[in-house]
Amino acid sequence: MKKLILIIVGALIGNAVLAQRFDLGSSFNYAKPIGGMAHNIDQGFGITLEGAWLPKAAPFSIGAEFAYNGYGQETTRQQFEFDDGTVTETNVIVTNTFSNLYMTGKFFLRKEKLVTPYLSAKVGYSWYKTNLVIEDPEDQDGCHPLDSDKLLVDGTFTASGGAGVRLDFSALFRKMESNMMFFDLSAHLTQGGTVDYMNVHKHSQPTTQAPESDVTARFINNRTQVVHEHHVGHVYSSMVEMMEYRVGVVFRPSCGR
């Protein structure tokens, strides 16, 4: 009797799961800061991975997404002079990135059409990071950083709203089944709290916000053990304000169509 009940319950749950619709997607991101943030960051590029659940017969979806973007990398060949007079050369690579983890919601203005516009809202958290990598120098007196490779990590809560449109692949490829794959184009305005972030360049425009502080990394001469500090960037602080534009592909598994 218990086995029969378990089989019935399992069948009901399985049927309910198979009756649901799910979307899986990936997109290329172009981020353009606005407001005060635009003075310190020019632009960013990255990728997004997302998944969403579409209740049966409902015109909306609920899901989550993770986005990873880079907004600056600089490699410099620099010469370091230590306190004891020894000199060495090495490549200093500084990489600036920001990541978003969001709960998402979309409201589709048309249902299962070849062209489907939608409204989108997201809320979550954003991280800003700066990493430093020191390559092995070419000369005998090599250097390596004493500090962690993460020079700066900060974050804040952010929210985003926008609109997009989906184009069914079957509109372009007649032999393809409809409601299976989509081109997805969207634009969002993202705003959030105050965050510290780094840029390797100090902007010279008169309206640009002055840096909150400078970032230095410590190096050690492998032969003499003499410690040296070198400037690698500037830290700024502002509210998160940016426009984000995306182009991607969304796949809907067969069990959810």
**The one-letter amino acid at 101:** L
| Spatial CB neighbours of 65, under 8 Å, sequence gap ≥ 6 | 48, 49, 50, 51, 100, 101, 102, 104, 122
Residue 157: pLDDT band (50, 70, 90) is very high
Least Cα distance to 242 among 150, 176, 175, 162 occurs for 162
Are 237 and 212 contacting, i.e. CB atoms less than 8 angstroms apart?
yes
Beta partners for residue 197, in sequence order: 236
Q: Say how far apart CA 77 and CA 63 lie, in whole Å.
A: 45
Q: What pLDDT, in 10s, does the model give residues 120-149? A: 999 999 999 988 776 655 544 545 544 446
Range among 7-16, 77-86, 167-176 rated most confident: 167-176
Q: What is the pLDDT of residue 167?
A: 93
Over residues 17-52, the pLDDT tens digits come to: 455 689 999 999 999 999 989 988 989 999 999 999
For range 8-15, the mean pLDDT: 45
Is residue 104 one of the residues assigned to a domain? yes
CA distance 67 to 74: 22
- The domain that holds 252 is classified in CATH as 2.40.160.20
The pLDDT confidence band at residue 3, using thresholds 50, 70 and 90, is low
Residue 199 near residue 41 (C-beta atoms within 8 A): yes
Tokens of 216: 């230095």
**Confidence class of residue 118 from pLDDT cuts 50, 70 and 90?**
very high
With 90 as the cut, is the pLDDT of residue 221 above it? no
Amino acid at 193: G
Residue written as token pair 């049966």 = 56
Beta strands in the chain (DSSP E): 21-33, 44-54, 60-81, 87-108, 115-134, 143-145, 150-168, 181-199, 213-221, 227-251
CB 128 within 8 A of CB 153: yes
**Beta pairing, strands 143-145 & 213-221:** antiparallel
11: enclosing H helix or E strand: helix 2-18
Mean pLDDT for the chain overall: 79
The residue among 65, 161, 158 whose CA lies nearest residue 120 is 161
Q: Per the domain annotation, does 74 fall within a domain?
A: yes
* 3 located within any domain: no
Residue 63 domain-assigned (yes or no): yes
Residue 5 domain-assigned (yes or no):
no
2 located within any domain: no
pLDDT at 164: 97
* DSSP SS3 for 51: strand
Domain interval for residue 206: 19-256
| 86 occurs within a structural domain | yes
In this predicted model, what pLDDT tens digit does every residue of 68-85 receive, in sequence order? 999 988 777 766 555 566
Q: What pLDDT, on the 0 to 100 scale, is given for residue 138?
A: 54
Question: 88 in a domain, yes or no?
Answer: yes
- Domain count of the fold of the chain: 1
Single pTM value for the model: 0.77
| pLDDT in the model for residue 206 | 46
